[in-house]
Structure 1
Amino acid sequence: MPPPPPPRELLAVVEAALLGPSPPSPAQRVELLHAVRDAAPAFRALLSYPGPKASDRTQVEAKEVRLPDMPPITLDDTDVQTALKLSDELNLNEIECVRLLVDANREWVLYGREPLEIYRLAAGLWYMERRDLITSLYILLRSVVLDQGLDADLMYEIQNQMEALFIEGLGQRIITLVKELNREESTGVGQPSSEHYVLDFRGALVERRAIVSRERLSLSHCLALSALIKLMSPREVKDVFSLLKDCAAEVNENSSVELQITYGVLFSLVVTFVSDALSTSHEKPSLSSSDSSFRRDFHELVMRSDNNLTIEGFVGVVRLAWAVHLMLTQDRSSARDTLTSSSRDVTDIWACLEIICRQNSFQFLQERIMQTAAYKNDDEDIVYMYTGYMHKLMMCFLSHPTSRDK
């Protein structure tokens, strides 16, 4: 298998085929499908890079490094110090850091620059590569999920490739990244002693924490879109619910990006429960009815109250989506399950509705989510999807006899 295309090249191919002013040409279609197939390993191991290695560190300290398909590279003291600083602060392999310096020199010419500027340019280049890879994934998912008038056969091919990635664990990888990138570690926003700024492609100074927050936001968008590519597994639903509570605990009302990340995580659950319930048939059991232990465990999780009012507000919206899911699937499941199971469903639905109404989760949904500037100023296509599924959720809720009785 050929190596994955460089992130910049991948993004250029994806944008040319899917965001161009006219439908992609036959050559662009072929190039796109080949690029997506070749990029599969990079997507599967999303933002996972070789870590530091003692033998590679020794090679860098010896001031001569061999990169693939290149003659030996001689380093000076500044090169060595910068490469090792990049390795320590970004948790990157030392040889990979030399590659970053070579690429940064090709982009901007590093001769005569101060060591800190060189570090910031190389680190900024690395973050640009990460951004290009995430953006490519986002455009691919969006093209499949949202009807943008693209060729149906092409979308079918892309959907198959995307679905295969999520079957192989890409969803779990995204969940992990949204959680772990927020940590004050070298693999996240950086340790307190690390350099806080990098230089972007325009030469502008940008805070590393802000870049990582934008990565997490894009990943939360990918997570929400992926709910319509492949149904989350029970484990993924539990992990996303836990992630939502973590995100809600750290929400700063003055930080739009942090709010938008939390919205992305929340709506990945809303979309999962609503789309699963609406697509369930006698032949295709729902998420809750196909795994009885998950149904029991998740109901217990979602019914637990939290002392943090923000966390409790977001959990209340999940309760609403869970209650609607149970209501829509209860009639179908009662036809094939025992009377005891059906009675349990009704009991759980009423328990959900009781706490939803008592806490007025609808007010939180309206005032703290859908009417906020953070919601309205999020990505236009994403807001379109969020609003569409919230409309479906409320229509299902209001039209069901159980909720009307309540």
Structure 2
Amino acid sequence: MTKSPVFIYDEQETGYRFNEEHPFNQKRLTLTVDLLRKAGALPDCSIIAPAAATDEQLLSIHSAEYVNAVKALSAPSPEEAAILKAGAYGLDTEDTPFFPNMHEVTAAIVGGSIRAVDEVMTGQAGHALHLGGGLHHAMPNKGWGFCVYNDASVAIQHAKQVYGARVLYIDTDVHHGDGVQWSFYSEPDVCTLSIHETGKYLFPGTGAVNERGEGTAFGTSINLPVEPYTEDGSWLECLEEVLTRVAAHFQPDLIVSQHGCDAHAYDPLSHVHCSMDIYKAMPRLIHRLAHQHCDGRWVALGGGGYDIWRVVPRAWGLLWLELSDHPLVAQLEHEQALGLPSAWLSQWQPESPVELPVTWLDNKDVWTPMPRRDEITLKNRQTKDIALLYVP
């Protein structure tokens, strides 16, 4: 009998908020959960609240000095000594400034990703989704790229230590999954695959195709840096061929995937020009590979996504629909213009600063075609072939 999937969520996770002007806005969680509920796709029985990660779990990836610095800066009014040291830990930047209750909120997010791993690895659930997670940039001793603790790295380490799992990590955020890659760059039992806009033009500037792992882990770091203005066909061509071959070769016990949805054409922080079609296709591919190679064991996390009104709720909604085998997924195959719930649209349109889309998928017929499409596709194919050099 197919095990029911679980949706890890607690409203407390919306407290991960640097300031009111910051682009990382967790209102997108509220919008996504409400969309799924109004679509009749998220019953209360599927939702599990996370528990905070322990210090011991955080220290499996992060240094004690860093964790202590995060705690000190989480006070309502941090001491002057802690503030003076914030820069040493990357917590005084415009991207990643410290904020009240930072440790408590982020430890709960890490705990959510750990809970997702436990649910899947113990067989309580076939798949688990934790949209509050996916903070993939944080380093062992540094906050970086909107990320304080790296829940993905801690959850993968937990899967290794507690269950002895070989983990395939798949990162589909438009920004390179640098923190997770570097956490396991010399670990042969963790394979990281990241598709992202090339670091020549976009944060964090890493993720080159020649970053392949080191020592006995050489070949377990795979990067697909695509060109700016890449569209659906080229993005999916690169990912499908490389991921299919990597999964078959690596033979994971668990897949952990990060689903930042900032490769969409509407996202303000990147230059890739994909549509909602990739956010339907990528979960379907990962879902198939999970059943093909690791008995369906699949943990999916959130990530980036900065058009919180038009993109994130639909992309993450499609992820849950696929992960939970909801009938709407099959319906979308035959009804490209399937509408969003009218109750969701009527509730949120008055608050939205932009006109909300009325369908799950985009009408690309009204989009202006990208110039240099053929050149971009050819360059991405060349990158794909280089990425596959050491994959049998």
TM-score range, shorter chain: under 0.3
Q: Which has the higher contact order (CA 8 A, sep 6+)?
A: 2
TM-score between the two structures when normalised by the length of structure 1: 0.26
More strand by share: 2
Q: TM-score, normalised by structure 2?
A: 0.26
